[in-house]
Chain A
């Protein structure tokens, strides 16, 4: 940092005096170098992240449809989001999805991470890699597999469950069971990712803490509640936020499995954005909906950022 400041205060040097190649001639050439390194990425980010953000905000105040000149409609689109029962329903669905997805995927991931972390388990790397596998499979492909397993006529899982007295029927056509089913598919795809993050967190816990707890006569459960769980709180906070954000963006497996049905019971915000924006061409409204998604995501990220920022300071001191 100090060298950088020194460079700037140096007098102008004619090009070529130092061969024109050292970083010490803070001149036009150096600026050109910096711009050259940054420009490709910044042009892409400006065109496809920065501009679309502004553009989406502008569109959200219009009745744009892709044809003709859009008219300014003020807050109409936003008013509609918070009054239209169908939209409120899909927001409710998204919340319901998040409320199921987040705790279930975290519980599954944490239990598996604890099991793998046990020194008693042989071939731990094998288990870790195998259980991570669903994370590299696309949600769409995972959805194919689950739809076949849960097929009411020929589904293996349905057949096995029926053998033990559980008759699921056609879960994807059932307005009550369709949502838990699409959540299940997402949990299955993502638990390996959260598990690996938990594993990393578990391995940062000093073993001396466990030894001390053991000396104090704490049993396995007490060691978990008094050592593991508190020491894992940062990791937990991270995973909760990441899982919530993933839940807000639920789309792929719903598109494949139910298309938002039956009776809109699996219609989520992103499904609605896709429908309004790319099927109904109601671009203004879809943009307003996008902005609501954007703001909720930003708020969640901000919570995480503040949490981790505080944690960083604590670590430094």
Chain B
């Protein structure tokens, strides 16, 4: 059962002989740690600057560590920006898209994986082909449609166009196909309807795949800039990503220390989710390149 959820490929346990006494091992470690820290400099600077008082943020010569740690910047994002509102919008938008997409994608994926019907193969090919359409290319007609529906500046407008997506359907279909059919056939013989097989047999077995797809969808939408820029003109409907960008961009009105505090808070929910499921998430991401 090689699946998207747990590919066997990416185990990091040493296949070569481990050289415990190898002194080069720790030199190698130290060297790579320095490289990693250097590459993480932007993350480090976000975290440290967020805790610096304004006088230090703009000081010359600049320093890495704050001399005096402060929470003023965090207080400022909530008083100078409608930041609570932006966070709420981001949760509603990214969370809404994620929930709808998981439900609709898994339903369609089940039909494609289990309900053998005429044309299912063609339908799958069409869906996979539509994966290749960049959303930027269809943004204008989507905007026209959303605006005709009167959905600009509403959550409906932000969420509905993404309530199902081809990648999710394909990803879940591949996972469902990999699940043994014996389980659901047993349920069918017991008289279970397709809906019941889907809900009680297939879905509970697909939790890892649903979790991975859910986090992937959530992160992508939370981080998206162009989409909320286009579908929200009212600042109170923006997301943290679009709101921070509009209010703080270069030459913006918000000082950089406050901007970094905003950036840190914007990244935090994703970082927490990522830390909780990092291994599985990374392995699933990796497997998209293998299949």
List chain B residues, Cβ under 8 A from A200: 7, 9-10, 283, 286-287, 289-290
A139-166 toward B: CB 8 Å interface, digit per residue (1/0)? 1111011111101011111010000000
Distance A287 CA – B138 CA, assembled complex (angstroms): 8
| Contact in complex: A137, B270 (CB < 8 Å) | yes
List chain A residues, Cβ under 8 A from B161: 44, 47-48
Segment with Cβ contacts to A, from B66-74, B204-212, B219-227: B219-227
List chain B residues, Cβ under 8 A from A156: 45, 62-64
Distance A158 CA – B289 CA, assembled complex (angstroms): 37
| Contact in complex: B260, A121 (CB < 8 Å) | no
Please tell me which one of the listed residues B166, B229, B260, B286 contacts residue A45 in the complex, with CB atoms under 8 A apart: B166
B58 interface residue per 8 A CB criterion: yes
| Contact in complex: B223, A55 (CB < 8 Å) | no
List chain A residues, Cβ under 8 A from B19: 120
B6-18 toward A: CB 8 Å interface, digit per residue (1/0)? 0101111011111
Please tell me which one of the listed residues A34, A122, A204, A249 contacts residue B9 in the complex, with CB atoms under 8 A apart: A204
List chain A residues, Cβ under 8 A from B224: 138
Distance A257 CA – B252 CA, assembled complex (angstroms): 11
| Contact in complex: A45, B127 (CB < 8 Å) | yes
A238 interface residue per 8 A CB criterion: yes
- A161-216 CB contacts (< 8 Å) to partner B: 172, 188, 191, 193, 196-197, 199-201, 203-204, 207
List chain B residues, Cβ under 8 A from A142: 42
Mostly helix, strand, loop or mixed at chain A's interface?
A: helix
A41 interface residue per 8 A CB criterion: yes
| Contact in complex: B116, A4 (CB < 8 Å) | yes
B36 interface residue per 8 A CB criterion: yes
List chain B residues, Cβ under 8 A from A130: 36, 40
B1 interface residue per 8 A CB criterion: no
Distance A250 CA – B267 CA, assembled complex (angstroms): 21
Please tell me which one of the listed residues A1, A50, A273 contacts residue B136 in the complex, with CB atoms under 8 A apart: A273
B80 interface residue per 8 A CB criterion: no
Distance A90 CA – B189 CA, assembled complex (angstroms): 61
Distance A257 CA – B256 CA, assembled complex (angstroms): 14
Given contacts A48-B145, A200-B289, whether A40 and B104 have CB atoms under 8 Å apart is yes
| Contact in complex: A148, B105 (CB < 8 Å) | no
| Contact in complex: A252, B130 (CB < 8 Å) | no
A234 to chain B, nearest CB (A): 9
| Number of chain A residues whose Cβ lies closer than 8 Å to a Cβ of chain B | 107
Distance A148 CA – B62 CA, assembled complex (angstroms): 11
- A233-266 CB contacts (< 8 Å) to partner B: 235, 238-239, 242, 245, 248-249, 251-252, 255-258
A307 interface residue per 8 A CB criterion: no
| Contact in complex: B132, A121 (CB < 8 Å) | no
A256 to chain B, nearest CB (A): 5
Q: What is the chain A residue whose CB lies nearest that of B216?
A: A136
List chain A residues, Cβ under 8 A from B60: 153-154, 159
List chain A residues, Cβ under 8 A from B226: 251-252, 255, 270, 274
Given contacts A136-B271, A138-B266, A149-B42, whether A45 and B164 have CB atoms under 8 Å apart is yes
List chain A residues, Cβ under 8 A from B145: 47-48, 51-52, 55
B131 to chain A, nearest CB (A): 8
- B58-109 CB contacts (< 8 Å) to partner A: 58-64, 103-105, 107-108
23 A-B residue pairs with Cβ-Cβ distance under 8 Å, sorted by A, are: A22-B188, A22-B191, A36-B107, A36-B195, A40-B108, A40-B164, A52-B142, A119-B14, A120-B24, A120-B25, A121-B25, A128-B282, A133-B43, A141-B244, A145-B46, A154-B62, A156-B62, A201-B290, A255-B226, A273-B137, A283-B144, A290-B136, A294-B138
Please name 14 further chain A to chain B contacts, defined as beta carbons within 8 Å, in addition to the given A53-B138, A121-B29, A297-B134, sorted by A numbering.
A33-B115, A37-B108, A37-B198, A56-B138, A122-B26, A124-B12, A131-B40, A137-B267, A140-B244, A156-B45, A255-B229, A278-B143, A287-B140, A293-B137
Q: Which 8 A-B pairs have the closest CB atoms?
A: A138-B223, A4-B116, A197-B289, A55-B141, A52-B138, A41-B108, A52-B141, A200-B286
